[in-house]
Structure 1
Amino acid sequence: MGRRTPNRQLAALLAESGWNAGELARAVNALGTKYGLRLRYDRTAVAHWLEGSRPRPPVPGLVAQVFGRRLGRVVHVGETGLARTAATGNPAEAVLGNADPVDRMTALCGADADPARRLALNREMFAATGIRLPTWPSTAGPGTVVRPGGTAGPLPPGTDPRLADVVTIFAELAEKYGGAHARSALGAYIADDVVPRLRTSPHTKTRDPEMLTGSACLMHLLGMMLADAGLPNLGYHCYRSALELAHRADNRNLYAITLRTMAVQALRLDDLTHARQWSHSALELAAPTATSPVRCYLLAGRAVVRAADGEREGALADLLAAERCHEAEADEGAGPLDLFTRYPPAAFRYQRGEVLLWLGDRTQAAVALQDSLAARPPTHHVSRLLTHAQLARTLLDLGQLEAALDQCRQAAAHYPHTSSRRTTTALTALRRSLAPYRRHPQAREVRDHLTRLTRPAPPDSGGTP
């Protein structure tokens, strides 16, 4: 075996960051948990990397991301010196290297149905270089997306209601039960029904906004379900297809909605650099005549990112602007297509609570979270669990133990109905928050119950690489 070449690129990044090998290892391990990975690297492993060894994906991408967060700029995998040469027949390259969004839809849905290919694709960290933000003429229309019943705003009339109905069904299922429930059925529908219709449409290569917009909504929804199921990288690749389809449909608002969703997901994964970039770009790319709900959704998303980034004044300004947009829209109640047509009160109030939590105003954040719960349908188990869990942690910080324990119990009651990595993560974090109260009988009882609920199951082929 030949002698390895020392990794001078990684050494340079370590020097620039001011980290030692142990600190880098701990940062990679911590970020890995966000992606559902159990990593146990230490300074010895980093020493091996510096000597020329290369960890398998997605670790090189994690290393690039933690350096990017530390240095405040995008760090590409190639800069770490850890990237491996693509192997012939790499299943990820076969899918992601396809330039045609319709072909990629087919490949992504097929990969999600195959546990081995799904695993390989989820190891491919999504890179910002994969997105080239388009430009639209300043006179472009708002491109309002599909509504149930075939009304589509400025889009040509006669939008096929079948795609809208499918979006309605699966969006409702995801709200109720989580992204791991019925996701494979959505992927099969896209591959077996939508893709053939796109291929046979005479205008798909030019402009067929009805089919392209509906397809983009479905790929956006599939991306959300994958992320919620603990497959964030594979979800990002679906978002990329949604962006390309929205661009082909000349639907800039749907493009902006998808980009904003990606930004908030990036924030959940501690990728503040991309969260900042995408949340700003979403507002810049939205149509000048964007509806109030679209602007509310985009502004609320950027407010969260700005709050997490320490931009207090900017976050409050965005939140205030979002509240004005929300008031401008008649409150029609929450509906299954709210992500694409209006911003439901429960979701907006939850987002408001997140902004206030990042800014340190726990009292008002608790009020916003309670308001969100009051507007949530009782069967939206995932959303209600996440809100109860967030409110419980907030009340613990405020010293209101009894009220927090009641929220814990309500969160736990929803858990058996969910198939979601996010709900498992939320209850696990809640259990850890109760650790200081182990001598309190009721707190100990609740904590033991949460432990039983979240006890790790045997790893499945779609989760941990």
Structure 2
Amino acid sequence: MTNAAFEGLLLAAGYANSHAAFARQLNHTGRNEGAWRYDAASVYWWLRGRRPGEPVQAAMAETLARKLGRPVAIAELGFGASDSIGMCVYPVTVDGAIDTAEQIWTRLAKRLNQQASGAFDSGKALEAALGWRYDLPDKAVSRNGRQQVTSTDVQSLYALADHFTDLDRRHGSGSPRTRAVMADFLVRQVAPMLHGTYTDAVGRDLMRAAATLSGQLAFMSYDAGEHAMAQHQVTLGLRLAKAAGDRLYGAHLLANLATQAVFLGHAREATRLAEAAIDGAGRAPAVALARLYATAATAYGQSGERRACQLALTKAEYALDRMGTDPGPRWVGYFSPAHFAGAALRCLGDLHLYTQALRHAPDALNLGSRNTRTRVLHTALIATTHARAGDTDAACEWASKLGQHAVGIHSARVQQRVRELATTLSSQQPSPQVNETLHTLAVVPATI
């Protein structure tokens, strides 16, 4: 659908057949923001509904005002209210990705103490997967802007990403404080770097680092229950990973999107996202393949595809056996036999294969000390699986461990897992033990 308001302004200003001329004037107007490189194709996509960042819209209004001889309000451009964050559109160009990054990071930083959530859009998720998988690679990402960016600058971003990842795993992301700090950092430090000056090699590494940070913020938003924001950040991360030429990290992000779809009950879409991740990963280290196949197994389990689920588990286990001394990329170093066991426990339980599922229970808790949230998630899952299998004594025994493990964890996912356990136990035969456990579970979310 054409943006009629923007099209009308271009016509009135004499740019109807000169989109390239408008883009050149826009680049000149925005020279203080860095070296913008918009062209006629950029104008085409804006007319077709792509929403540029707020600084770009301001420059558009200024450019049109000079030609029209009157003030032009940003609202006249027809790009919609700035609070609309649920589009989750995969940016076509690198410039579009940079503008989108600045826009959504700024918006998130402005609503630090508010829920910025909305609905997960499975259609947009699949569109992003297609764009990431099949769009042509970017020929160059070098840029000339106000700030010189070096390899050393980029390496500092990876260190910050590791720090935020550690905080997330230890404490969860339900509290807005960590996300607020991260969003502010992205706005103040990373966005100016993306608008800076860098060579193609440094630029691709910068895109990879920005994708890593966006992916971490996406996972934190998902853990906090802000699903539209999480999806938007993953979509942005996919585009930045594409610009970096990092297929493997893009596959990892797509698997995260599949995991989110499983959590929200979009089973069929989750299987397609997981399949696209595996297909797009190419040649991958064993640990990365193990993670991707484990994700696929959880999607197949939820959708009831028993054969596909068990095949994916077999492939994941085989990949784990081949890990050897190759740790893989830094972002997949967390994945261990315990994480595989948790995935197996989940998907086999979804298939009602409770005996098989519970064989993985001991391994699912063989976690490092930093994986506090995962330990709570797996403990609740073991209890729920016992309850679904009809063993209320074991379920109650495992449930009793949740209170001590969950203290200090701020996570919507943990709260959801506790609610699932309580719902499952509520359907069992009433007994003093079950009633006492339900009472205990009722106060667990208050400690999270």
The Cα shift of 1:262 comes to: 0.4
The 5 A counterparts of 1:112-127 are 112-115=108-111, 122=118, 125=121, 127=124
- The one of 342, 347, 351 equivalent to 1:350 is 342
Cα deviation, 1:155-199, whole Å, max 9, x if unaligned, reads: x99794322221211111111111224121111222212221222
Q: Which one of the candidate residues 342, 354, 361 is aligned to 1:369?
A: 361
Query: What is the aligned partner in structure 2 of residue 271 from structure 1?
Result: 266
Give the structure 1 partner of residue 191 of structure 2. Answer: 195
Amino acid at match of 2:233: C
Which residue of the partner structure matches residue 275 of structure 2?
280
Match of 1:92 in 2: 84
- Bigger drift between 395-404 and 177-186 goes to 395-404
Q: Which residue matches 1:426? A: 417
Residue among 199, 221, 231 paired with 2:226: 231
Contact 1:207 1:248 in 2 (8 A): no
Task: Call closer, same or farther: CA 1:391–1:299 in 2, change over 3 Å.
Answer: same
Report what 1:308 is aligned to.
302
Q: Compute the displacement of 1:122 (Å).
A: 2.7
Cα offset for 1:321?
A: 1.2
Kindly indicate whether residue 420 of structure 2 is the aligned counterpart of residue 441 of structure 1. Answer: no
The Cα shift of 1:430 comes to 1.6
Partner residue, 1:400: 391
> Which residue of structure 2 lines up, in the alignment, with residue 414 of structure 1?
405
* 1:53-72 pair list within 5 angstroms: none
- CA 123–129 in structure 1, closer or farther in 2 if over 3 Å, else same: same
Note closer, same or farther for the CA distance 1:391–1:332 as it changes in structure 2 (3 Å cut): farther
For 1:338 and 1:408, locate their aligned partners in 2 and report how far apart those are by CA, in whole Å.
Answer: 34
Which structure ranks higher in relative contact order (CA pairs < 8 Å, sequence separation ≥ 6)? Answer: 1
Write the distance in 2 (CA, Å) between the matches of 1:331 and 1:444.
48
Larger radius of gyration: 2
Correspondence for 2:167: 173
1:137 CA displacement: 11
1:247 correspondence with 2:242: yes
Cα contact 2:217–2:230 (8 A) shared by 1? yes
Structure 1 distance, partners of 2:382, 2:333, is: 28
**In 2 relative to 1, CA 117–271 (structure 1 residues): closer, same or farther, beyond 3 Å?**
farther
Q: Is the 8 A contact 1:254 1:340 kept in 2?
A: no
Counterpart residue type for residue 280 of structure 2: L
Deviation at 1:239, TM superposition (A): 0.2
Amino acid at match of 1:300: A
Partner of 2:131: 133
- 2:179 aligned to which of 183, 202, 221: 183
| Residues 89 and 232 in structure 2, CA contact (< 8 A), matched pair in contact too | no
Aligned with 1:376: secondary structure? Answer: coil
Indicate whether 1:324 and 2:321 are aligned.
Answer: no
1:381, 1:417 within 8 Å by CA — same for their partners in 2?
Answer: no
Q: Is the 8 A contact 1:101 1:245 kept in 2?
A: yes
Paired with 2:254 and 2:369, the residues of 1 have a C-alpha distance of 29
Amino-acid identity (%): 20
- Alpha-carbon deviation of 1:417? 1.2
Tell me the CA shift for residue 111 of structure 1: 2.0
**One-letter identity of the residue aligned with 1:172:** D
Deviations along 1:226-267, one digit per CA (max 9) or x if unpaired, are 011010111000000000000000101111111111012112
Structure 2 residues without counterparts, runs of 5 or longer: 1-77, 139-149
After superposition, the CA RMSD in angstroms is 3.4
Q: Which residue of 82, 102, 109 corresponds with 1:106?
A: 102
Q: For residue 345 of structure 2, what is the amino acid of its counterpart? A: G
Pick closer, same or farther for the CA change 1:235–1:417 going to 2, 3 Å.
Answer: same
CA distance in 2, matches of 1:341, 1:438: 43
Question: In the alignment, residue 377 of structure 2 is paired with which amino acid?
Answer: L
**1:401 Cα deviation from its structure 2 partner:** 2.7
Deviates most, 179-188 or 88-97: 88-97
Say which SS state the counterpart of residue 368 (structure 2) adopts. Answer: coil
Shift of 1:411: 1.5
3-state SS of 2:359 partner: helix
Change (3 A) 1:428 1:135: closer
Does structure 1 retain, via aligned residues, the 8 Å contact 2:89–2:235?
A: no
Normalized against structure 2, the TM-score is what? 0.70
Distance 2:184 2:204 in 1: 22
1:446 deviation in Å?
A: 2.1
